[in-house]
Amino acid sequence: MDKRHLRRQHIVQELYAASFNSKSQHPELKEKLQAITTHADTFDEKIQLYAQKYAIEKIARVDLAILHLALYELLVEKNNPPKSYY
């Protein structure tokens, strides 16, 4: 499995777990998790802008974790994805 895919899985798992308790199981992801958490309010505003029928509190925590990671990668990190070979 692709390393980026596995890393994303771990980040989403950590973000989801952090929504219940703040202790991280993967200290090597701490920097990225902290950056995503720092921007969470901004991401929530963006989500609310496009998901007007749903209150942020009503969106499932795992879905919110996925959305936060996606918005972080698109708006903050801005890395170009590697070329696809498919």
Model confidence over 11-29: pLDDT tens digits?
Answer: 888 888 887 776 666 677 7
Model confidence over 40-85: pLDDT tens digits?
Answer: 999 999 999 999 998 999 999 999 999 999 999 999 987 766 665 5
Rounded to whole angstroms, the maximal C-alpha distance in the chain is 39
Non-local CB neighbours of 65 within 8 Å, separated by 6+ positions: 12, 15, 16, 19
For residue 13, is it within any domain? Answer: yes
Number of domains, the chain? 1
For residue 58, is it within any domain? Answer: yes
Residue 44's domain comprises 3-77
For residue 83, is it within any domain? Answer: no
Whole-model pTM: value is 0.77
For residue 84, is it within any domain? Answer: no
For residue 65, is it within any domain? Answer: yes
